[in-house]
Amino acid sequence: MSNNVRLAILVSALGYFVDVYDLILFSILRTSSLTDLGLSGDQLVTVGGYLLNMQMFGFLVGGVLWGVIGDKIGRIELLFGSILLYSVGNILNGFVGQFGPTVDSIISPIDQYAWLRLITGIGLAGEIGGGITLVSELLPKKSRGIGTTIVVATGVAGAVVAGAVYELFSWRMAYIVGGLMGLGLLLLRLSVAESGIFKSLADKEHIARGNFFMLFTSWDRFNRYINCILVGIPIWFSLGIIVTFSPELAPALGITEKVVAGSSVFWFYCGITTGSVANGLISQWLQSRKLAIGIFLFATLASLGVIFHVPLSTASEFYTIVFVLGFFTAYWAMMVTVAAEQFGTNLRATVATSVPNFVRGATVLTVMLFEFLRPTTGIVGAAEVVAILVGVFAIYAFFSLRETFHVDLDYVETDAKPVRQAS
């Protein structure tokens, strides 16, 4: 493996590290930051939801924006622009409500906070997809899965660092630290070389690159695209509902001891960290991306079944099953890798950056359905109904996925059929 490839893996891993850091940091800082800005009671929930939705909308916009940039201009430009925007947005987040009375009279501190979460969301949206696209194109097919697994396994450690930074610094400084980490990463990215597969395509002006709407002009492409999204939704359902609402869910399951959301997040991400490595190794051993995804997908659904139907009596038992759930939802890296491998070079970044962000964005829909059902079915019934729905769609998508372990990535998508580039 060349030094350039090693550097690309390192930079991509650190980019995803920053992505996870910010996602977890906002969840941790929501209450303390809003309290410091003068909010209390129900405002902490309603305004917190508003900020989260602005951030998630940023992910959706950025998922398409950076993917198109990655296919039209280059993978390096995607990663460079993404982390620059994130870094600036997060540093400014640390100064919300302190820009001066003139600024505060024009736009309130809460709206400043919301727009800056939108900006950071847009910035972060390109990290995992752009990194995995670059690493996948630089590595030979036999080791692509290992490279992308390293990216994700390193990245999820950002959750642990986010918790440590919160303990050491104020909420404002925690945001600034995240932005400074991004600027440091920016310097590393100056030394990363572009993908050779992309460079060979860049001179072919007759081939459409980064055309997002091409995904909807062919049933074959649309089917591949939507299946990549659906197969990943159980991952973010588990985090967005089971883990996030664990303090409310646990008593309804019969657990008398107090369950803390922060502890649930910690154990969930511990599971993801170890599970990401295991999933990558299983894929290499089986010589199959699809089988590795399938094993972990069905185990994820089984773990959800345990939560809903096996009596749990203590917080420790609950955290244990949350760890197990996190372990099996760790097919996230393989899901994004498969998304990148399902499509030709001229659409690869567009797909690889938009798919994970649409999976994240689907959390809004699952939470809305969960909240709609909760008054009628109760919190456990609502969670189980939503779990069944996302599980059915994910199973359908899994059986429709193509195996991509041995696929050569040097080809392009046209309105007719995938066309291999001339050597």
> Is residue 86 in some structural domain?
yes
- Judge whether 117 and 58 are in contact, CB under 8 Å: yes
Residue 155: which domain range?
3-412
> Is residue 181 in some structural domain?
yes
> Is residue 369 in some structural domain?
yes
- Judge whether 198 and 138 are in contact, CB under 8 Å: no
Least confident of 214-223, 314-323, 361-370, 388-397: 361-370
Residues 6 or more apart whose CB falls under 8 angstroms from that of 285 comprise: none
> Is residue 24 in some structural domain?
yes
Of the ranges 103-107, 295-299, 365-369, which is most confident?
295-299
Q: Scanning the structure block, which residue is given the tokens 């055309």?
A: 211
Cβ-count burial 247-263 (b if 16+ within 10 Å, e if not):
eebbeebebeeebeeeb
3-state secondary structure of 206: coil
Q: Scanning the structure block, which residue is given the tokens 């995992």?
A: 128
Nearest 5°: phi and psi at 420? -75, 140
pLDDT tens digits along 220-247: 999 999 999 999 999 999 988 898 888 8
State the pLDDT confidence band at 48, using cuts at 50, 70 and 90: confident
Does the pLDDT of residue 422 top 50, yes or no?
A: no
Least confident of 42-51, 289-298, 356-365: 42-51
**What's the predicted TM-score (pTM) here?**
0.87
Does the pLDDT of residue 417 top 60, yes or no?
A: no
> Is residue 417 in some structural domain?
no
Spatial separation of the C-alpha atoms in residues 124 and 353, rounded to whole Å: 10
For the residues 132-160, what does the mean pLDDT come to? 84
Spatial separation of the C-alpha atoms in residues 98 and 387, rounded to whole Å: 43
How distant, in Å, are the alpha carbons of 182, 298, 301, 328 from that of 259? 33, 26, 22, 21
E strands, 154-307, are none
Query: What's the DSSP call for residue 364?
Result: H
> Is residue 255 in some structural domain?
yes
Say how many domains are in the chain.
1
State the pLDDT confidence band at 42, using cuts at 50, 70 and 90: confident
DSSP 98-120: -S-HHHHHHS-HHHHHHHHHHHH
Q: CATH number for the domain including 316?
A: 1.20.1250.20
How distant, in Å, are the alpha carbons of 212, 353, 400 from that of 68? 7, 9, 25
